[in-house]
Amino acid sequence: MSVIGVVGAGVMGIGVAQNLAQAGHEVLLVDREERILEQARTAIARNCRLSRMMGGPALDPDTVLARITTAVGLGPLAKADIVIENVTEDWETKRAVHAELDQVCGPETVFVANTSAIPITRLASVGSRPERVVGVHFMNPVPAKPVVELIPGVHTSPETVARTRELLSSMEKRWVDVKDASGFISNRVLMLTVNEAAFLVHEGVATAEAVDEVFRGCFGHPMGPLETADLIGVDTILYSVEVLHEHYADSKYRPCPLLKQMTDAGLHGRKTGRGFYTYASPASPAASTASTASVSTDTK
């Protein structure tokens, strides 16, 4: 049976590993510390127990976790047929990981970059086999989102695309084909929306609750943009907007100072217990009504 490697045991890596295991794949989840991997296994077990309550299938945590092996470092990925990279949306971090993967993995390994903004061709240029690099932008929470963006780079081979589509089909994902451009479809639009919503709070125009209520009540969105920021991670939002700003050199992508301040303060959203809203505990699905509107906004 083929082994699917998953790099990064953060929010996205946890979701990808769980989704793969649910689909019956043998998964090798790696990160830089055993502590992070233990937290990931705990989170996956919790997610499985809550799956039915959140509208998903009934899942047995033991069955799902039995298909997931964890390891520290990238070395064990030498045996993986496909590797899905989910590290933070920072060029230098991703560049280093892809350079090491190119050295560690076998010649037939397909590298899937789960990125929300960094161009796939740029990531593929790091290694010696750009034809085996493809982008898949998974949405959060991964097991619950049926659609992904599939992004070939300039040199991605048809065989790599075909193998990736086969894997996505096994995960019960539909894909939207997107040409390689920073931000693709979703984040060219979403990051602008979240960034501008943060500016509304930063400038004192409205509270986070008011901004999100307009999107839920008037536009019928299940979540407002700042609730979405907390779910994705405020730090991830900031890094994505910074990538867009750098790539397009367009002032419309200028990051909101409040996003920078919150990231520096560790107010990253659900994963840290506080972002635009305060949560009962890190990664808790229940939010209180308290927002971070009280965070200093005089840093224009």
CA distance 53 to 185: 31
On the 0-12 / 13-18 / 19+ scale of CB atoms within 10 A, 24 is exposed
Residue 153 marked as a ligand binder: no
Residue 240 marked as a ligand binder: no
CB-facing half-sphere around the CA of 141: CA atoms within 13 A? 19
292 three-state secondary structure: helix
CA distance 109 to 79: 9
Candidates 98, 137, 202, 268; catalytic one: 137
Residue 271 marked as a ligand binder: yes
Residue 12 marked as a ligand binder: yes
Residue 116 marked as a ligand binder: yes
User: Does the annotation count 137 as an active-site position?
Assistant: yes
**Other CB atoms within 10 A of residue 126 CB:** 18
Residue 89 marked as a ligand binder: yes
Residue 79 marked as a ligand binder: no
Residue 230 marked as a ligand binder: no
Residue 173 marked as a ligand binder: no
Cα dist from 108 to 159, 166, 176, whole Å? 11, 16, 25
Annotated binding residues for NAD(+): 8-13, 31, 89, 94, 116, 140, 271
Q: Which residues are catalytic?
A: 137
Q: Which residues participate in the annotated binding site? A: 8-13, 31, 89, 94, 116, 140, 271
